[in-house]
Amino acid sequence: MSQTQFVLGVPPPTWNDGEEFRIHCGISDGLTRNIEPIGNQFLAYVRRKLNNYSFSDDERIQAEAATEQAEEIILEDSEEETSELLNRDPKDWKEQDHYAVLGLSKYRWKATEEQIKHAHRRKVLKHHPDKKASSGDTNDDAFFKCIQKAHEVLSDPVKRRQFDSVDDAIDDEVPSSKAKGDFFKTYGPIFEREARFSNKTPVPMLGDINTSKPEVEAFYDFWYNFDSWRSFEYLDKEDTDSTDNRDDKRYIEKKNKAERAKRKKEDNIRRGKLIDQALSLDPRILKFKQEEKAAKEAKKREKEDAAKRAEEETRKAAEEEKQRKEMAEAEAKQKQAEEKKEKTAKKKVIRNEKKNIKTHVKNYNYFYPENETPPVEVIDIQLSELDTLFENLSLEELQNVRKQLDSSQDRHTAKKVLVEEAKRLVSAGTLSADSIKHFSPDINEVNVKETTPVEEPVIKTTEEPKERSWSVEEISLLIKAANKYPGGTVNRWETISEYVAYHANLPLRTNDELIKKSKEVQKGATALEEDVRKLQHQKKHADTRITEHPSMREATINYDEPVVAPAESQNKSQPTSKANKNKAKKSTKAQQLTAPTSGNTEEKETSPNATETITTSKETTEKTISSNGTTTTAVASSTSSSTSTSMSTSTSTSSSTSAAATPSQSATNWTAAQQAQLERALQTYPREWKGDGDRWDKIAAAVDDKTKKECKLRFKYLSEQVKAKKAAMATDKK
């Protein structure tokens, strides 16, 4: 009785040891099914049950029935024995057909052991010598010997394989590749015959046109790796048993092995040719190739279609993105253009408001009585402070200031408007009190009656007795500082004073002293004759050996680009080293390379008054070491020929200006305020300016009552003045 075991799970940790059992699940109800009695075992059971046989009796009866059935089949299919077969010589047993001798020609290698055994029994009963002797045929046992030999060979598996390997009755030739007919009918039986030599079973057959591709591939893969047991020992010409000599046996065996290897190689070549030919002619392979080609083409077309779709989508997306970007750029450009337009319009309005305010200040004579001419430095300070105020005022505030100025009755009321505006900005913290001097609420106003004539303040050219004298070094530093801090700089004269005092290691100079000295330097050589004599004496008696690289530069206003100063020739009487000479040569070459080569090169403008930049044509600083170890600085300057010409007059103050062209009235009829505005505009819009609009239009807009042409003529006039001075200096040196 069968038993069923169930494997239960591991008890959980919460299992109570006191419990004897636990229900995991219930048992399902039984199922009723119909079982049909069928099969060989059921048939044997029924046969034993009906006949009352035991297992052994049933097996014996079935074996006898199978033997009788086989004998009946063989007897029914008995072959006719020809006279040639009956008269064969037993000695030529290798030449006989063993299957034909036993009557199994149509079975051959397919014959079973039982069939061979019963065929042999039947032939023995028919051709036994004793039976023939009783019939009168004596000494006729030759065919019986052939029967015995055939049974001996076919009943032994090894000998039977050797005979089957060389069975001439089976055709193993490869058909022609050009043979017509059905492929499967032609090559199917051939592969079936070849399959008998395989060591591996089962052997795949050729199949038909509907065989699947994996089966076809498995078929050819099996046959290309075919493992054959076919051997050719049966065809050995000599037998090793025919001699007892060991050497002869070895020779015969070696010879037989060579023949067998040769035949084996030929057989492998034949089978390979058969497989190759079948593969080349197999219609299924052609069909598979066509299907693969069609699949590849379909896949390729699908891939191309997908690529085209992707490309089309990408193109559409790119076009959409491009359109979106173009729209965004157009909107941005439109917005930018509108903003620019608004900004330009606003700038224009602001510029007009500034211009109107400056016009009011100008009309009020810079808050001086009408019969007086305001000093140039006062005009410069007022314009500079106005620019400072403008930078911190919005458009509405500028319009408010302009409206108040429009409604003002006199200069005092107008100035009060500007002072109140400056006071408001200082109180709000927008401006520092130090940046506003003239319009500061704390400064005393100029209380001068318009009806009372007041003499114009004159700056003396000679120093007062109490004023500290100026050294050559201080004058040089003053020129440098004036160039470094041009007109319009916030707290310009305070900054210049600190610069000169710091580098000269001397006390600070007052603004009046600086302005006074600047005007003296600007007037020309007469005011500086004493300084020139001091400088010449200092150069003659001082040690002028250069211990550092000299710096050669021309101090000028940096309107457009730096102007390279011409090289200063060294004093021939002064001893110089070979290295210094080489440096001077290199400096001269560099200056020649950087000098302007065309007439359209813009030169630098000179300042019209002491508040503007002071230009010198040549300045070389030489540092020499004195005997007590202190450093002194000497300024070599041709002051008489290098001082700037006054921009506010039409006459020349130096003989060097005689080389310049005679200026036109539009180039010389300029006020100090207009000159200052031109200089600030040139600094604001240099040559490398890349803004919108024309540079000279911008410059002309910043200068009151002057056109673009007049500004260009003024610039050209100033440039010619500078060129004339340089030419005069070169002539004086020669």
Q: Determine the pLDDT at residue 120.
A: 85
Query: What radius of gyration, in Å, describes the C-alpha atoms of the chain?
Result: 66
For residue 367, is it left (φ>0), alpha (ψ between -120 and 50) or beta? left
644, pLDDT greater than 60 = no
| Cα separation, 545 vs 578, whole angstroms | 12
- Give the pLDDT confidence score for residue 196 in this predicted structure: 82
Outline where DSSP puts E strands in 118-250.
none
**How many whole angstroms from its chain centre is CA 623?**
56
Higher pLDDT, 544 or 570: 544
pLDDT of residue 528: 54
Domain-located, residue 595: no
Reference 522, options 407, 623, 607; nearest CA is 607
Whole-angstrom Cα distance, residue 190 to residue 414? 129
SS3 622: strand
- Point out the least confidently predicted range of 258-267, 394-403, 457-466, 508-517: 457-466
Stronger pLDDT, 440 or 412, i.e. the higher one: 412
In this predicted structure, what is the pLDDT of residue 595?
37
pLDDT of 138: 52
209-218, 486-495, 614-623: range with lowest mean pLDDT: 614-623
Please provide the DSSP assignment of 643-681 as one string.
SPPPTT-SS-SSGGGGGSPPPPHHHH---HHHHHHHHHH
Helices (H) and strands (E) in the chain, counts: 25, 3
pLDDT, residue 448, reads 37
Is residue 478, in this structure, part of any structural domain at all?
A: yes
Q: Mean pLDDT, to the nearest integer, of 160-176?
A: 77
Specify if 412 maps to a domain: yes
- Is the pLDDT at 254 greater than 60? The verdict is yes
Whether residue 618 contacts residue 641, with contact meaning beta carbons closer than 8 Å, is answered with: no
Whether the per-residue pLDDT at 350 is higher than 80: the answer is yes
Burial of 409 from C-beta contacts in 10 A (0-12 / 13-18 / 19+)? exposed
Query: Is 515 found in the same domain as 661?
Result: yes
Q: Using one digit for the tens of pLDDT, what is the confidence trace for 645-692? A: 333 333 333 333 333 334 456 677 888 888 999 998 898 888 888 877
Buried-exposed string 39-73: b where 16+ CB fall within 10 A, e elsewhere: eeeeeeeeeeeeeebeeeeeeeeeeeeeeeebbee
Rounded CA separation 348/350 (Å): 5
Give CA–CA dist 211/181, Å, rounded: 19
Domain count, the chain: 4
pLDDT for the residue numbered 530: 57
Confidence (pLDDT) at 257:
85
Q: Please measure the distance between the N-terminal and C-terminal CA atoms of the chain and give it in whole angstroms.
A: 144
Instruction: Please compute the mean of the pLDDT values over residues 567-595 and round it to a whole number.
Output: 39
- At residue 538, the pLDDT reads 55
Instruction: Report pLDDT digits (tens) over 212-233.
Output: 888 999 889 998 988 888 887 7
Domain of 496?
A: 472-584+604-733
Residues 640 and 511 placed together within one structural domain of the fold = yes
Question: What mean pLDDT do residues 590-608 have?
Answer: 36
| Rounded CA separation 499/481 (Å) | 7
CA 638 – CA 532 distance, rounded (Å): 8
* Chain centroid, CA 372 distance in Å: 73
- Among 380, 406, 435, residue at a domain's last position: 435
If you write DSSP's letter for every residue of 234-260 in order, what string do you get? GG-SS-GGG---HHHHHHHHHHHHHHH
* Confidence (pLDDT) at 298: 92
b/e per residue, 451-489, with b = 16+ CB within 10 A? eeeeeeeeeeeeeeeeeeebebbbbbbbbbbbbebbbbe
Q: Are residues 483 and 628 part of one domain? A: yes
| 689 and 543 assigned to the same domain | yes
Q: Which helix (H) or strand (E) holds 118?
A: helix 113-127
Helix orientation angle between 113-127 and 55-76, rounded to the nearest 10 degrees: 60
Task: Note the pLDDT of residue 711.
Answer: 92
| Residue at a domain's end among 165, 195, 214 | 165
By the 8 A CB rule, do 664 and 732 touch? no
Residue of higher predicted confidence among 635 and 196: 196
Q: pLDDT digit string (tens) for 308-329?
A: 888 888 889 888 988 888 888 8
CB 74 within 8 A of CB 107: no
Q: Kindly state whether residues 215 and 249 are assigned to the same domain.
A: yes
Let me know if residue 682 belongs to a domain: yes
Query: pLDDT tens digits, residue range 421-442?
Result: 888 888 888 877 777 777 776 5
171-193 confidence digits (pLDDT tens): 777 787 777 788 888 888 888 88
- What's the CA gap between 249 and 651, in Å, rounded? 145
pTM over 0.75, yes/no:
no
Residue 4 has pLDDT above 70, yes or no: no
CB 484 within 8 A of CB 614: no
Whether the predicted pLDDT of 560 surpasses 50: no
Cα separation, 509 vs 487, whole angstroms: 18
* CATH code (residue 123): 1.10.287.110
Tens of pLDDT, residues 354-410: 888 888 888 888 888 888 888 888 888 888 888 888 888 888 888 888 888 888 888
Q: Are residues 161 and 206 in the same domain?
A: no
The CATH number linked to 410 is: 1.10.8.840
47 in any annotated domain: no
- Phi, psi (rounded to 5 degrees) for 551: -105, 120
Regarding whether 135 and 244 lie in a shared domain, the answer is: no
Of 162, 155, 160, 132, the closest CA to residue 144 belongs to 132
Q: For residue 657, is it within any domain?
A: yes
Among 116, 131, 165, identify where a domain stops. 165
Residue 111: inside a domain: yes
| Most confidently modeled range among 67-81, 234-248, 535-549 | 234-248
Task: Of 171, 173, 187, give the one whose Cα is nearest residue 280.
Answer: 187
Structure-model confidence comparison of residues 640 and 141, the more confident one: 141
pLDDT for residue 696 is more than 80: yes
> Are residues 234 and 156 both part of a single domain?
no
Alpha-helix residue ranges (DSSP H) falling in 463-510? 472-484, 492-504
Judge whether 324 lies within some domain. no
Instruction: Give the pLDDT confidence score for residue 270 in this predicted structure.
Output: 86
CB 636 within 8 A of CB 719: no
- In the numeric block, the tokens 């330097």 are attached to 521
Cβ pair 556, 721 in contact under 8 A: no
d(CA 175, CA 560): 103
Residue 583 predicted with pLDDT over 50: no
Cβ contact 695:602 at 8 Å: no
Report how far residue 602's alpha carbon sits from residue 617's, in angstroms, rounded to the nearest whole number. 16
- Does residue 187 share a domain with residue 118? no
Which is more confident, 407 or 544?
407
3-state class of 225 per DSSP? coil
Average pLDDT score over residue span 273-299 = 89
DSSP conformation letters of 520-536: HHHH-SGGGHHHHHHHH
Lowest-confidence pick of 25-34, 114-123, 140-149, 511-520: 25-34
Classified as helix, coil or strand, 96 is coil
pLDDT digits (tens, 9 = 90+) for 453-462: 334 444 333 3
Lowest-pLDDT choice from 419-423, 548-552, 699-703:
548-552
Environment class of residue 321 by beta-carbon count within 10 Å: exposed (0-12), middle (13-18) or buried (19+)? exposed
Q: Report whether 97 contacts 105 (CB < 8 A).
A: yes
Q: Is the N-terminal amide bond of 663 cis, ω within 30° of 0?
A: no
* Residues 204 and 82 occupy one common structural domain: no
* Interatomic CA distance for residues 630 and 623, integer angstroms: 10
149 & 194 share domain: no
Q: Are residues 147 and 273 in the same domain?
A: no
Q: What average pLDDT does the structure give for the chain?
A: 73
Banded pLDDT at 25 (limits 50, 70, 90) = low
Q: Is the pLDDT of residue 34 over 60?
A: yes
